[in-house]
Every structure is written in C-alpha cells, then in structure tokens.
Chains A and B, each alone.
Chain A
C-alpha cells in the first residue's frame, strides 16, 4: 500500500472514529475494524483481521489499542503504527478530559444512562452479527478440527473459566502440530 500522506490521514481518521465508537467493551472494535478495513477500504483480508484479533488478545494492554497498533503497523509500517496509536488514544483523551470536569453530573444524568442502556443492546447485536458470520464460515468449511477447537475453546473458557492465555497457547500449538501432520499426509485438516 502506498505510504503517502493521504493514506496516513485516512488511517488516522479511521482509527480515530473506530476508537470514538468503541462502546461497551473492547471486543466491539473487531466488527468495526472489519467493516472499515476489510469491507470498505479493502486494505486487509478477513483472515488477517482474525490473526490480529488473536494477537491483540494475547498481548497485555487494552485489546482495542493493540488491534489498532497491529493494523497500523501491518498497513503502513512504524509510522502507520504511530498514526494508529494517535488516532486510538485521542478520542478517550479528549472526551474524558472534558467529562471529568463535570463527571458527577454526567454519571447521574438519566438521559445519558438511558441512551447507554439502549446502546448496549445495539453493541450486542453488532458483536453477534460478526460472530455468526465468522463462526458460520468455520462450520461451512466442514473441517472437523477448527470446529472442535471453536466449540471446545468456548466451553473451556465460558463454562470452566480457564485462563485465556492457556487456551491460546494450547490451540496455537494444536494448530501448529496439525499443520505439520497435514504436510506429511498431504491432507488439509486445518
């Protein structure tokens, strides 16, 4: 991708707006990033987005910040990463600096709370939409191992509450082993 000023500005604008709408938890940035960088701008493939989501989750720090840095780096190198960081960090910096001046009034405002409650249902729909799209693709591919990993990881994480890091390490290793096995047998299990 051409590293010109216009693209840097586009990257900054994109990460800025993405960050400005990351309500209700860091995960919502995944569908927002997908819409922007994969569907609209065509700068990334959906698979790369998932890889970035995996790395963003596995690293310390807020997921949304990590994901933006990864996208920025991948798209436009080190300056891309810096631009993405600026775009991600500015909205909370601005909004919170302003709100902290009158935060008690803000926190107790009935209208604000009603709107946020409404937004939460919307965020719920947005995240679910992306999950069924991605999960659907895994199921349609009809490869048993990814489907097994997907269901297994969910049960282990949500029900058994195993630490995310162990799950990521285990599944990553499983994937690596399977791909080596595939190489030998010439099949495509993964």
Chain B
C-alpha cells in the first residue's frame, strides 16, 4: 500500500489522497489480489481500458519473470536432497504463516477494524456464528469453499441488514 501510494499520489500525482483511499476500499471489496485491483483501478482512472491493461501488465511482469525462474528451478532440482530438505523445512513454516494471516482476518471479522479488545460486548456475534457454521460444514461435508463464502456472504449480508 505505501509503495502504491508513493508512486500514484506522491510522485506522479495521478490520484488525490481521497481517490487513493477510495481505491484501497474498492480493491479490498473486489475479488483478486489487491495489487492487481489497484493497478487496474489506477489504470482505468488515468487512461481507460488501455490504461488498465498497461498497468496490470506492469504489475505482473516482475512476478512472472521471477516466479517462472523459480518454477523452472523447482522442476529441475526438486529431487535434489538439499532442495528436498529446504522444502521440508518450509512446509511447516508456510502453515504457520497462513495461520498468522488467518488470525489477523479473525480479529478483523470478530472485532472489526478497531482490533482486539478484552471487551466481550465488542464482538460481532453474527460473524462468530457464520464462522462456526462455515467451519462445521467444511469439516463435515467438505464442500467447495466457494459455496461457503457465497453462503456466508448472502446469509451474513441479510443478517447485517436486518439487525
């Protein structure tokens, strides 16, 4: 986020700070990685569809190059004992990192943007119920996660609007 802000607002002046804040909000509301969403949004605001394409292309090019290199190396050397060791060391690490990300999302969902407090009354119980129900369904019936996300969106949305 700071990187995008410094480029788009400070250095090139393509967006005002208000427009930038809108951009962040929209990018978080729409599917897709926030970096791509930001690139597309900025691109459309500045130069229409062509801008969006150019912006997105620029955003993914470094990833494409570096990741392709990694993918090629992985394919070639993954059977090597040392590489196997590295990957074996990284797998539990990745689990830990995803768990960390999850915890942050949990706090955001249950306590909102103000963050964790010991005050129980600040907890969003609709979110807690949706989470528990979703988890139960996932563990028991192993559905496609997309259904859980859509379901919680529709049911949760209705709950939030009604209460």
Contact = CB atoms under 8 A, between A and B. Distances in A.
Contact of A149 (B93, B106, B131, B151): B93
Nearest to B152: A122
Nearest to A155: B96
Contacts of B97: 57, 153-154, 157, 164, 167
A95 interface: yes
Given A69-B67, A118-B157, A168 B148 contact: no
Interface string B109-122: 10000000000000
Contacts of B93: 54, 149-150, 153, 167-168, 171-172
Contact of B36 (A65, A119, A152): A65
Interface residues of B, number: 92
A9 B37 CA distance: 24
A96 to B, nearest CB: 4
A180 B36 contact: no
Given A57-B97, A164-B97, A178 B102 contact: no
Interface in A69-101: 69-70, 73-74, 78, 81, 85, 88-89, 91-93, 95-97, 99-100
Nearest to B130: A121
A188 to B, nearest CB: 10
A47 B91 contact: yes
Given A60-B63, A65-B36, A126 B138 contact: yes
A42 interface: no
A154 B60 CA distance: 29
Contacts of A55: 67, 70-71, 74
A32 B157 contact: no
B75 to A, nearest CB: 7
A30 B32 CA distance: 13
Interface centre among B70, B142, B151 (most CB of A within 10 A): B70
Contacts of A3: none
Chain A binding surface, main DSSP class:
helix
A122 B44 contact: no
B41 interface: yes
Contact of B92 (A65, A120, A153): A153
A186 interface: no
Given A54-B87, A158-B103, A60 B66 contact: yes
Interface of B: 22, 25-37, 40-41, 44-45, 49, 52-53, 56, 59-60, 62-64, 66-68, 70-72, 74-75, 78, 81-103, 105-106, 108-109, 126-128, 130-135, 138-139, 142, 144-146, 148-161
Closest 10 CB pairs of A and B: A175-B89, A118-B156, A179-B85, A61-B63, A122-B152, A92-B32, A125-B134, A62-B33, A115-B157, A121-B130
Given A70-B71, A124-B134, A131-B99, 11 more contacts: A23-B149, A50-B95, A61-B62, A89-B36, A116-B153, A119-B152, A122-B148, A125-B131, A125-B133, A125-B148, A149-B89
8 contacts: A39-B142, A74-B75, A85-B60, A93-B53, A151-B96, A175-B90, A178-B85, A179-B81
